[in-house]
Structure 1
């Protein structure tokens, strides 16, 4: 049941999970649903280290009061299993009956794995191994503890029943998935997002744009009218409003539209449409210390250019869908025109790249500390990612990946 003044509804009807909450401050929403929706009395909070030092965290603690039984400050990047086991044991010791995450990224993924582990009585490294997708353990029990995510980025991980976490014994980032895994409630508060660093907010916004663009350009049979609707609406909400946010940081209305754009993008993803080379190469840039949003900023334009130059007319026609959406938004068209682009001649790589540059995000591997000497090993690792094969022009050979990477090395010899 909604609180007074709150918009409370399913993100993906007719599915009832997750619900989204907008319209009231996040501490008020969290306290209301902990009590009235989940009837919980022992809340465990996982909060990012940076947010834990802010007034926002103080307000959440004040709203929940003595219902808080435990707090975890941060989970390290790429969600190490050791961190998760520490939290699992702490939750078990304190008898928590609900989890709230305040932050994004590793916290969101971590909560998913934690609830799956708790449901299956797992509290060791070997036990976590049995929960991975690779293990294919039959009849895993569904998570039982309700999870509330209060995200501070636009990456959209809170809308998926998939999580990644790293076994530091071999540095392998394993996938975990269960149809019932993930947030029960996602509280969206644009006022909270104002405190997110610009690099994180804007780059994760481009990550959501990447979902839309690679989704619209997919040749997979699952792609079609239904998925296109979500991806198209996502682009319309995300790109113009990211440009507005860049210029007017404190404005809350465009931020809420961006959050809605993430939901539309994830509707498309939930149709089962696979992503392409930008996502696939991005997965392997992550272990090199590159943020998920930054990988999309760097890799999406060259992938679009590679696909356009090596693809057939069908590939080019799919890219035209992206161009039609972006040129159709005045805020976007004004920026493109001001940078000298023409609707008749600019390709999708040019257009998307110009938007990313206008947001001040990184465009080359050098910008994020990846050197030319690392490209060979990077290309080898990229070929293991399944989304390289679902790229509109399948990337199945090392030389293809290197051709894409070469465009964005950033050492003065790159072509993009």
Structure 2
């Protein structure tokens, strides 16, 4: 019988890689005719390195402002503050340089500018499908490997409810992404490696999904192979720019499935709750949850899991074990107890995880919180 499916392509126009970020961003800005560029950047990079100043110099008088106060998990209040500053600067393009929280926040800022959102409460209005399309687009220079810059989905934390909410529009995906391994030199090693596991998680859950396609599998499996080789090399030699770029390209390839409409599974779903409620960094949520989710899912997709072990250079081995060993080898946390989350929180995590987009589409069907708790027990 013929298989059928659908692959969705995004509104991203280009990816530059392997050249200095400042040079690439100047080329992109010129090509797109932008005149008023607003920067959303890492505060640490702005204060302690010259990376942001390099970009400012490359932009010259086209740079009309800088926002460098975005906390982790992109809280609503900071999104509104950044939007107000961008609006006042009359920005016609946003350029981000930093990690995933900055990237996601800028996507939400695009929606705020297009829909006249000026309050924390007003963000509720752009969570439905009937929103005006962004007209001020985004260019992203990532410093971590979470790869959110390759998605039109933004995760923004509602501080009142401690829930990470999803904001989306096809045009919130950056117009261009610039991958420069040099700007990742300043990223703390734990953050670079753990977000690399976040990218591994995209690859793994994308391939293991019941809705994956041959097209997205090809991207994810090659990306996984590049990450499996590159991450240990960066850990062994932080000055290895070729390995860093391999990780960046692997991270890009990891998003082929998600960007094309393939759903993630329980590792991502539970991870959203761990991040929003317990402030666990994105990368660490994948380090902790992915092997346990794989073990729980194995009865439903052992054939897919074999592809994972093979791509990681361990054919014939159990994929959950391969991932566990790989993550431990990078020195990352592997249990909920290591991030101080005890079993007394499992009911809340399980209930909240059922409300995420991903847990209900896990490859092994999850009917309710009790089954999420089974996974949490494996990760305890």
Contact 2:164–2:272 (CA<8 Å) still a contact in 1?
no
Q: Does 1:307 align with 2:297?
A: yes
Cα gap change, 1:253 to 1:382, in 2 (>3 Å): same
Tell me, what secondary structure is at the counterpart of 2:96? Answer: strand
Q: 1:143 — aligned with what?
A: 134
Contact 1:388–1:396 (CA<8 Å) still a contact in 2?
no
Match of 1:37 among 24, 31, 37: 31
Q: 2:175 — aligned with what?
A: 184
Matches of 1:303 and 1:172, distance apart in 2? 22
Render the CA deviation track for 1:59-117: whole Å, top value 9, x for unaligned: 22222233222111121222222212222222222222221111022211111111122
Q: What are the equivalent positions in structure 2 for 1:15-414 lying under 5 Å apart?
A: 17-34=12-29, 36-53=30-47, 54-132=49-127, 135-136=128-129, 138=130, 140-220=131-211, 223-287=212-276, 288-308=278-298, 311-312=299-300, 315-327=301-313, 333=314, 344=316, 346-409=317-380
Structure 1 residue 408, shift from structure 2 partner: 2.4
Tell me, what secondary structure is at the counterpart of 2:186? Answer: coil
Scaled by the length of structure 2, the TM-score of the pair is 0.92
Structure 1 residue 406, shift from structure 2 partner: 1.6
Tell me, what secondary structure is at the counterpart of 1:194? Answer: helix
Render the CA deviation track for 1:148-191: whole Å, top value 9, x for unaligned: 11100110100111112133343343221111112111111001
Tell me, what secondary structure is at the counterpart of 1:260? Answer: helix
Q: 1:336 — aligned with what?
A: none
Scaled by the length of structure 1, the TM-score of the pair is 0.84
Higher relative contact order (CA 8 A, sep 6+): 2
Q: Work out the number of aligned pairs and report it.
A: 372
Q: Tell me, which stretches of 5 or more residues in structure 2 are unaligned?
A: 1-6
Contact 1:47–1:102 (CA<8 Å) still a contact in 2?
yes
Q: Tell me, which stretches of 5 or more residues in structure 1 are unaligned?
A: 1-11, 328-332, 334-342, 410-416
Matches of 2:225 and 2:280, distance apart in 1? 27
Tell me, what secondary structure is at the counterpart of 1:70? Answer: strand
Matches of 1:115 and 1:392, distance apart in 2? 33
Matches of 2:161 and 2:8, distance apart in 1? 40
Looking at secondary structure, tell me which structure has more helix per residue: 2
Aligned-residue CA RMSD (Å): 2.0
